[in-house]
Amino acid sequence: MKLSINCDEATTICDKSQYGEASLMERIRLTLHLAFCRHCKKYTKQNSLMTDVYNRFATPCQGSEKMPDEEKKDLEAKLQEELKKN
């Protein structure tokens, strides 16, 4: 098994690792890659930061709560507006 991975594989493993889904071998390969790749190292730090911020400020879903129809329509309109801008 090769220990070196490319940046695409590194980002995939990074994402899996954030959710505890990466195997030990994948985490070892990622660590080795991060020792030499500053771009993936930055991606990993940013990914961790985004996860931390999300976990601090996200409102947990209770499962039975539903978004009111009016809010859904407003959100859909905003999304459509953003899509038109891009």
> pLDDT tens across 2-59, in order?
889 999 999 999 999 988 999 999 999 999 999 999 999 999 999 999 888 888 888 7
Are 14 and 30 within 8 A, CB to CB?
yes
Angle 34-40-43 from CA coordinates, rounded to 5° = 125
The pLDDT score that the predictor gives to residue 75 is 87
CA distance 15 to 11: 6
Question: What are the boundaries of each domain within the chain?
Answer: 1-59
The pLDDT score that the predictor gives to residue 34 is 96
Written as six digits, the tokens of 70 are 């009016």
Neighbours of 60 (CB within 10 A): 6
**Average pLDDT estimate for 56-69:** 76
